Amino acid sequence: MSTDLASPIPLEGFLTVAAMLFCVGVWGLINSRNAVRVLMSIELMLNAVNINLMAFSNYLDGQLIRGQVFAIFVITVAAAEAAVGLAILLSLYRNRETVDMERFNLLRW
């Protein structure tokens, strides 16, 4: 598959790392009790997606690096999401005096 011209690292290596990062993020998203840790898990998942985008951009789309532009937009949206999410978290903590995810069931059916 890889010749001397290609990168010494196979594309599948990056995809594997991204898959592991994404799965760890999903597990943390499901199992975290602390709301801040849930936000951290979301950041992990976004980073995994970004690694995928950058790997495809470098290996399959080397001239028009559209994956890098997508990654920049993902970083922008992630920054906005973190700001709004932490503001919601502060407001919630002020009202409920806890960060336990199990007690945030106000919108549950």
Contact positions with other proteins (CB under 8 A) in 29-88: 30-34, 36-37, 39-41, 43-44, 47, 50-51, 54-55, 57-66, 68-69, 71-73, 75-84, 86-88
Closest distance of CB 61 from other proteins, Å: 7
Residue pair 20/44 in contact by the 8 Å Cβ criterion: no
Of 49, 98, 105, 107, the one binding other proteins (CB under 8 A) is 98
Distance of alpha carbon 23 from alpha carbon 101, whole angstroms: 20
Query: Six-digit token pair at 28?
Result: 């943390």
Beta carbon nearer to other proteins, 37 or 108 = 37
Closest distance of CB 107 from other proteins, Å: 16
Residue pair 53/71 in contact by the 8 Å Cβ criterion: yes
The strand pairing partners of 34, in sequence order, are 100
Count of chain residues binding other proteins (CB under 8 A): 80
Distance of alpha carbon 34 from alpha carbon 56, whole angstroms: 34
Asked if 107 is part of the footprint of other proteins (rule: CB under 8 A), the reply reads: no
